[in-house]
Amino acid sequence: MTTWDLSGTTRLVLLCNGDSCSERGADAVTLTLRRALKDAGLDPLVHTARTRCMGRCDDGCTVVVQPDGVWYREVTPEVARRIVRDHLREGTPMHEHVSFITTPQGMHQVSGTRPGKPKPR
């Protein structure tokens, strides 16, 4: 196991690798996004982490950029490259693929599939 020094890291990208996203190419999305970060010189500033299911299976592949609070839907390898270029390097989220954003009032659905079932309290 590796323990990374995250000093200086400015963003965390969570990459869903749950069953539904994996069936839709999550491994290729993960590898492409990581390669694009390295190629753009952003690797030391952006940390990535594979997750299990993030609960948005109908939106897969799902990618979340923190602390920006932006949830991306239907991410393909090409979309992953654009997330790195447009959002992570240029600071402009790709609105056509944003499903949720975090606001001071909580999560807000912007687009994507049905809202889903209510989360148990």
What is the per-residue pLDDT across 67-112, written as a single tens digit (0 to 9) for each? 999 999 999 999 999 999 999 999 999 999 999 999 999 988 888 6
Query: pLDDT digit string (tens) for 47-63?
Result: 999 999 999 999 989 99
| pLDDT value at 8 more than 90 | no
Q: Is 70 exposed, middle or buried (0-12, 13-18, 19+ CB in 10 A)?
A: buried
* Cα–Cα distance, 56 to 41 (Å, whole number): 30
| pLDDT recorded at residue 53 | 94
Pairing of strands 11-16, 46-51: parallel
The per-residue pLDDT for 113 is 65
Structural domains of the chain in order of their starting residue, each with its CATH number: 15-109 (3.40.30.10)
Compare 1 and 86 and report the one with higher pLDDT.
86
Checking phi first, is residue 69 left (phi over 0); if not, alpha (psi -120 to 50) or beta? Answer: left
